[in-house]
Structure 1
């Protein structure tokens, strides 16, 4: 733009053309300034952290005191969906939760895993209370609970009783919850 201004000043241009060129240059300069303000605002909002790659997120709009014209979203809940669990998938959920905790700017959002995993030992990998995952939501917890009770009933074998006891501990401590509870919770947000 400076070069165009110098060019128009150095060459004999018609007054009408010179005024038109100056008007266009002022408009371009104004648009560049506005774009820079928007870019700066977006950089302030986004920060420098990497994406968490969550499967489902729930956010609420909050007031932006620095740039009121730019809407801010506050993450209130994040969910990692896993139909079944393997040790690597469980580790993926835990690392997402740990990263979310490290990158948060204020209150920690609710972070949970949603799964259909039938094996209590795999559910315990996430739900035992590492702190990376708040809880595990199971898509049909009543059916899983009934199946475990049926599998473990009428036996004195310690291994089966241990399975039932560990599952009950997860359930009683609310480390594993039914999917319907998740639906109610997200509806309240």
Structure 2
């Protein structure tokens, strides 16, 4: 639409220059054409600004975001915000809540410009099998921060101590594997990480 309007303005400009219009009328016409050009430019700038905002956290529906201010090389008076971390808060997990985190991570990866922001889920989910839905996922979530990982580890050790039942030992071993691979981390690590941003 904008290109068609620009073409029409140029045609009117050419017509005004070629025709034998009265000087006063031609001056008024040129004034109106300049106003139209300015409106087109302002609309284009607003559209560019909106396009630059696409992919921000509002589209992702994140619970907590951390961004850093960047210098705008195009428009120096309007600094840009770069999303460096996004967090999805889920006090407990169900399969649909886990899927929600995954879709947010996939959307963030698709909309990013440059480096992928750190994306994690924060939860106090006590069941290792539910934690595994995110922590052993396809990489849509960097890791899962647990609000009290040491207490959960101690509870699992106590639950599995003195037993030779394979299902219980498998739960403990899978949990330890996710913890040792840093797929599940303690909330204190998140606080430390965010303080460096």
Q: Unmatched 5+ residue regions in structure 1?
A: 1-24
Distance 1:47 1:165 in 2: 42
TM-score, scaled relative to structure 2: 0.76
155, 171, 175: which one aligns with 1:163: 171
Shift of 1:37: 6.2
| Partner deviation per Cα, 1:9-58 (whole Å, 9 max, x = no partner) | xxxxxxxxxxxxxxxx9xx9899678536523422422378700000000
CA 1:102–1:94: 2 relative to 1, 3 Å? same
Q: Say whether the 8 Å CA contact 2:93–2:130 is kept in structure 1.
A: yes
Shift of 1:66: 1.5
Q: Say whether the 8 Å CA contact 1:112–1:134 is kept in structure 2.
A: yes
87, 112, 116: which one aligns with 1:108: 116
169, 186, 189: which one aligns with 2:194: 186
Distance 2:48 2:137 in 1: 38
List aligned pairs for 1:94-105, cutoff 5 A.
94-105=102-113
| Partner deviation per Cα, 1:78-103 (whole Å, 9 max, x = no partner) | 00000000000000000100110111
In the other structure, the counterpart of 2:8 is: none
TM-score, scaled relative to structure 1: 0.79
In the other structure, the counterpart of 2:65 is: 57
Distance 2:55 2:159 in 1: 50
Q: Unmatched 5+ residue regions in structure 2?
A: 1-31
40, 51, 55: which one aligns with 2:47: 40
- Let me know the Cα RMSD of the aligned residues: 2.2
Distance 2:111 2:55 in 1: 10
Q: What is the number of residues matched between the two proteins?
A: 163
Distance 2:138 2:158 in 1: 29
Distance 1:188 1:166 in 2: 31
